[in-house]
Structure 1
Amino acid sequence: MRKSLLVFAVVMLVASLSAHAQNTGNIRYKWYDGQGLMHFSDSLTADAMKYGYDLVNDRGLVVQHVPRQLNAQERAAANKLATEEAAKQRAAQEIVNAETQMLEAYPDEESYKISQQQTLDTIDQQIHTTQINLRSQEKALTDLLGRAAEMENAKQPVPKYLADSIAQQRGVVTEQRNTLHRQQALRAQTVQLQAKQLVRYRELKAAQAQSQQ
């Protein structure tokens, strides 16, 4: 009985060593050149690294594939692609984080709408302040123009300081008008954005409610 066990152990050891030699021993290199012709080599060559190669054992089985080396332009393109993909993943994760925080901050739709209205109220206050300033600056410009008109009607030359003041005041009025237009455009854009955000909020709340069922 002991002799049988010893013979069995020897056979298993030989089989194991044979399998290991088949898997790792007598490795050769196989690759295809630019014309698609297959090549074999016992050592790693520059062409194999250029085109990419397979590690082949003595049974003809591929045990590993090594892709070809990239040139500088290809490496730059690959790095750019990897960077863009990483940026997309970060942006997607930021959206997920922002939406999670939104649901935590506003447990119901009413509180979310109140927050949106507060944003509009802030913009409206800025618009109101700009309108007041604009009316004040327009009045100042009107007064300067009136003084210049009186001098012209009296056949008197308009002094340089007055002409310069008018030009400067016109610039102030123009800037105030541009500011008002930007603020009004921002409000319109905010209203549109908030409508989309409210739709998304409702979708997230519905999904949240369904997951809790």
Structure 2
Amino acid sequence: MDMASYRGIASALLCILLAAAQSAAAQRSKLPDHNRYKWRDAEGKLHYADVPTSEAIRLGYEVISPQGIVIRRVERAKTAEELTAARAAQAKAQADLQEAALRSRSDSQMLIAFPNEADLLRTQQQQLDLLDQTIKAARISLRSQEGTLADQLAHADELEQAGKPVPINLTNRILDLREQIDTHRKLIARKEQERVETAERFEADAAHYRKLKLAQEEQQR
């Protein structure tokens, strides 16, 4: 092949390369020089825009780079109900964290206050004994008031049987005694219920204490 042929081939290749470069430049010139936004409407139709529309924000959209690459996905806007539920879930999670922290501090304080289970049980029993004493004292007072009321009622009955009027102060005394007796009965009922609930709570606390001590001993091994 002579020199003229080589020059012809080289010239042809150069023309091809120039044409390809011009074509690529033309293609690049057609690309946007900024990000675009893509989304599908409620019917599934695809949309593009230079800025996200209200529909895109409501349904969710993708951010497309000038090279056509998805660089970010934005979820659809939440409904009022979803926002309320999300806030409630966040508040619950925060409350759970606070409760866990409080429980952890309480557990640490329990282990410090009671080096062994016997100390814990002794303290619990002292509190139960105090409740028992309160209930016992209230019952004694109740029986005394009931006895006094019985005496006052008997006296009023004697007066009525004798055809004599019952003095107003005696009537008021009877009314006061009945009110006091009712108050004492309610107090005793509350204290008895408190005693039951306290005993149940102490039993649960003791079981929890045993678990804490076991975990503490395992950590120290």
The answer, yes or no, to whether TM exceeds 0.5 is yes
Residues 29-48 of structure 1: pairs in structure 2 closer than 5 A: 29-48=37-56
1:126 paired with 2:129, answer: no
How far off its partner does 1:194 sit? 1.2
Structure-2 separation of matches of 1:203 and 1:148: 63
Match of 2:83 in 1: 75
Structure-1 separation of matches of 2:63 and 2:123: 63
Match of 1:26 in 2: 34
Structure-2 separation of matches of 1:31 and 1:68: 10
How far off its partner does 1:59 sit? 4.1
Residues 172-187 of structure 1: pairs in structure 2 closer than 5 A: 172-187=180-195
Instruction: Describe the superposition over 1:189-210 as per-residue Cα deviations: whole angstroms up to 9, x where unpaired.
Output: 1112211111111111111111
SS of residue matched to 2:170: helix
Structure-1 separation of matches of 2:175 and 2:41: 76
Residues 109-120 of structure 1: pairs in structure 2 closer than 5 A: 109-120=117-128
Structure-1 separation of matches of 2:143 and 2:47: 85
Structure 1 unaligned regions, length at least 5:
1-24
Structure-1 separation of matches of 2:81 and 2:217: 50
Structure-2 separation of matches of 1:157 and 1:26: 106
1:60/1:141 Cα in 2 relative to 1: closer, same or farther (>3 Å)? farther
How far off its partner does 1:54 sit? 1.9
Task: Please point out which of 112, 134, 147 is paired with 1:104.
Answer: 112
Higher alpha-carbon Rg: 2
Structure 2 unaligned regions, length at least 5:
1-32
How many residues align structurally? 189
- Look up the equivalent residue of 1:197 and give its one-letter code: D
Match of 2:26 in 1: none
Deviant stretches of 4+, over 4 Å = none
Match of 1:192 in 2: 200
Match of 1:20 in 2: none
SS of residue matched to 1:150: helix
* Aligned-pair identity (%): 35
Match of 2:57 in 1: 49
TM-score scaled by length of structure 2: 0.76
CA RMSD of aligned residues (A): 2.0
How far off its partner does 1:167 sit? 2.2
TM-score scaled by length of structure 1: 0.79
